[in-house]
Structure formats: structure tokens, C-alpha cells
Amino acid sequence: IILRESGDSLFMRQQRRRDARVDVQISELKRVLANADPNWRRDHEARCDVDAAVFLAARPTRSACVVVDMDMFYMACALQSRPHLSGFPACVGHGMILTSNYRARKYGVRSAMAGWIGDKLVAELSGGKERLVHVDSDFDLYKKKSNDVKAVLTEYDPRLKMCSLDEAYMDFAPYLALKISEPEWDHDTISRVLGGVDPSGEGATVCTTGVRGVPVDPYEILSSLPERVCAAALARVVHEMRGRVRERTGLTCSAGLAPNFLLAKIASDVRKPDGQYLVSPSHDAVNYFLHPLPVRKVGGIGRVRDKILGAFGIKNVKDLYRERALVHLLFKEASASFLLRASVGCSSSDSGESDDGPQKGIGKERTFRAGQSWA
């Protein structure tokens, strides 16, 4: 239906031109492989194994990274004032769909889809029994609800990062270190300490990564405890946090819990909606979770890179690791390093690298109406 309806649109023509350029790139890479030194695999694999060992040594030994993802956020906000729509396929947006409810997603309706294509999908796949309901967007409401959610989340991590209105990246290590080390402290006390307030009221300076004012690496505290103790504590705290979000906002969220944010981001989608999934930090547990996944599941691997990898038989993350020497041969150093990290479940944040820094860009979007184009 999608191809039929949009097969000759300007967008699809542009996509076909892009695909043709990727095909040329793939042909060039195949020539590189054909002309490679006979010992290329041995040499590149040895280099990759050294780098992988460095990456794995830097990966945290406890799962304390959490990615919180609100469930169909824009749609859920709209449903609070329109509860009758929960039984119908519905979406936010007209010309372009921002998000849809789970009933609409059963018909293939998704974000960034043209509204009229969503209409066709629901109408045809339901045999004409249902139609897609479109709701106007309301970003003032979304910002307010996002701030309400953030107010809850910052009680657990005052330094969290909100990458969008509906997604947060949180480091639970300081909270867990305090909760485990100071079992008599309740949530409110821990939250105040994380915010820099002395729990004794004596005016002492309290480090947000320390206990009773003593600067301590929270991961040192967690690493001194059995992994199962830390995992169970994290699972309980995140479950409690998600309940507080639901109680205060009426919205549900899902969460991924893992030793780093690359894994936590992927895990946040496993138990949607209104669930959570924990990836244990052991090498076997990470491989068990990560290796069967399509490479496209890894953040940073998009449509083009997926097509290039697929042309060389690399479909899932296990393939990506198995063919690490081939990837190192064909890709530029930075790309090959990123793909190797991903194949062993590591990310740049494991070694302390930060994305913090000055803003480097600004974006503005525009949805074209029927008959319009960029030409």
C-alpha cells in the first residue's frame, strides 16, 4: 500500500537517487575488498581484538544507566482529554504524523508518515471497518507534561539529559550508592542529598556523588557489592520511579536498564508499553541480548549504513562482530571504531567521553502539503 501510494512521489524519487549513490559506494567497497592484501583478515582482526579488549575493559561492571522513554507521548497527552479515542486507531498530526496509538500501529501507522498514507493503511487493512482519527498537535501541552515528568525524574538524577520532550538519559549510580549505603534514608532524603542538601542540617557540603559529604565514586561502592544486589535495587527503584511518573502525570513510560546508554536505549523498547528491561553487565548477558538484534536497532546505524553492511552479509550484531576485520578494512577509522564498539556492547560514554559542549546546530522543520515540493 505504501509503495503503491507513494511510489512515484518526489520523496520516493529522491530516495531512489540516494539508493543509486549507495549502490555505487557498495561497488567501490567491493573493489577494495577484491584488491586487498591476502592477509587482510588476519591483520585487521588482530587490530580489532586489541581495540575490543580496551573497550570491554572500560565498560562499567554494574548496570546503572537508564533510558526512560514515554509511551506514545504526544498521543497519550491527547488521550487524557479524549479518552474515547483509546478504542480507535488515532494519531497526532494531519499532513505528517507525529505519533500514533498502539491500535493504529497494528495497521503500520507510525511517526514521520504522511497522514494520507496512514488513512489508506487503516481503511484498507481494516476492510473499511475503521478509519484513522487525526488529532491536532499541542506543543504547549507537551512541554508542560514533559516538565512534569522531568520534575519526577530529577529526584533520582538531577543531572539527567532530556534528548527530547519524551526521552531521558539517567545515571542511577549516585542514587543507588546512597540507597544501599544509607538504608535508613528514604527517597526524599536521598533526593535532597543528590541536590546538594546536607541531610543532618548542619550545613556540611554534600557531594552529589558522595555519601555523608565524602567524595566517593558511586561505581566503586556498587562494584564492592554483588551484581545481583545492585541489579535488584535498580529494578525496584526504576519501577518505583515509573509509578511516580504515572501517579503525578497520568502518563506511562518504559525504561531500559543497562551498563551503558547504548544498551539502555535499545532495552527501553523491549517491554513497551509501561514496562522495563534490565541488561546485566556480564559479557555473556550483553551478547545474549545484543547479538540477535538487527544492526539497525543500534543507535547510529541508519538506512544507508544498514544497506552497506547488508551488502556484505552483515544482518545482525553477531554478524557485525564476526566480520569486524572486514568492517575495519572497508570503513573509515572513526566509523569502524564505532561499529566495533557497538558489536561488543560498548559506547564512547564507557571511557568517560562526553557529548557536552557548545551547541553546534539548530533545526527547523516544515511539512509540505500536497502539490508542494522543495524543487
Q: Are 345 and 287 in contact (CB under 8 A)?
A: yes
Cα 265 to chain center, whole Å? 3
pLDDT (tens digit per residue) in 356-373: 556 667 767 666 565 555
pLDDT at 292: 97
pLDDT at 203: 46
C-alpha–C-alpha distance, residues 49 and 354, integer Å: 24
pLDDT at 211: 46
Burial 143-182 (b: 16+ CB within 10 A, else e): eebbeebbebbbbbbeebebeebbbbbbbbbbbbbbbbbe
pLDDT (tens digit per residue) in 281-316: 999 999 999 999 999 999 999 999 999 999 999 999
pLDDT at 1: 79
Which residues of the chain fall below pLDDT 70? 198-216, 351-360, 363, 365-375
Burial zone of 213 (CB within 10 Å; 0-12 exposed, 13-18 middle, 19+ buried): middle
pLDDT at 45: 97
pLDDT at 206: 43
**Residue pointed to by grid coordinates 580496551:** 54
Q: Are 216 and 209 in contact (CB under 8 A)?
A: yes
What is the CB-side half-sphere exposure of residue 69 using CA atoms within 13 A? 21
Cα 62 to chain center, whole Å? 19
pLDDT at 5: 75
What is the CB-side half-sphere exposure of residue 143 using CA atoms within 13 A? 3
Integer distance in angstroms from the first to the last C-alpha of the chain?
26
pLDDT at 3: 75
